[in-house]
Amino acid sequence: MKKLVFGIVATVTFTLITNAQEFEKPQSEILHDTKVSGRVSEKLTGLDASLLEQVKKYLEVERISAADFNTEDVYQEDLKEYGGTVYTVNFKDENIKLGFCVLVDSKSGAIKSSSFVKTTKYTFEHFFVEDASGFKLTKTDKGGVTLTSTYGKKGKGLGQQLIDCINDCYSGHGWISTGLFVATLFEPWVGGGVAYHCYCQVFGM
């Protein structure tokens, strides 16, 4: 069932209208590229132990290290309208929907941002590494999402600026939004793509 749902998700293009601008969520591609996986692994391995403790506490996971992620399979999403690409690797334990994402400038190749994203049946959590800040969104009965917690000095600001964009993606477009939310529950890279679309829209590349 999981493979079937993922197959459907991977071949569907979601078209969303955000702030009167058309946003096309591109199909994700699984890469087996040692150069890309090496960069993602290097970024993960280089994270400070104290920061990982913060991530572990905020996202409520028992362990988190570079060795816990499958860096051989890298999900790629092109954010063409912003000139960026999001690369995501998933947690090896498939019972935990956790991904590590890096946003790369398509022209310079520089890593502009990195983050951890965790999804459950009712929640979507994002922790931005460079800002050591995070926020948690919870699905509402009406189908939208609401900001339920923040972390770090910039967490509230990040959440407030991104919440309208993310909420619009997940609740403002009928069955498309419903499909997007369901897809996010199964694959963290979907949530990472949505978050970085909004991140780029708010902060730019």
Backbone angles phi, psi at 87, to 5 degrees: -110, 130
Based on the number of CB atoms within 10 Å of its own CB, is 153 exposed (0-12), middle (13-18) or buried (19 or more)?
exposed
**Of the given ranges (2-6, 105-109, 124-128), which has the lowest mean pLDDT?**
2-6
pLDDT of residue 29: 56
Q: How confident is the model at residue 19 (pLDDT cuts 50, 70, 90)?
A: very low
pLDDT of residue 115: 93
Parent domain of 69: 2-203
Residue-wise over 112-148: b if at least 16 C-beta within 10 A, else e? bbbbbbbbeeeebbbbbbebbbbbbbebeeeebbebe
Express each pLDDT in 60-81 by its tens digit.
999 999 999 998 888 888 888 8
Beta strand segments in the chain, E: 14-18, 21-25, 29-31, 69-79, 84-91, 98-105, 111-119, 123-128, 133-139, 145-151
Q: How confident is the model at residue 118 (pLDDT cuts 50, 70, 90)?
A: very high
**Residue % of the chain over a pLDDT of 70:** 71
The count of structural domains within the chain is: 1
Q: How confident is the model at residue 178 (pLDDT cuts 50, 70, 90)?
A: low
DSSP single-letter state for residue 83: T
* Cβ neighbours of 99 (radius 10 Å): 22
Dump the DSSP string for 145-170. Answer: EEEEEEESTTHHHHHHHHHHHHHHHH
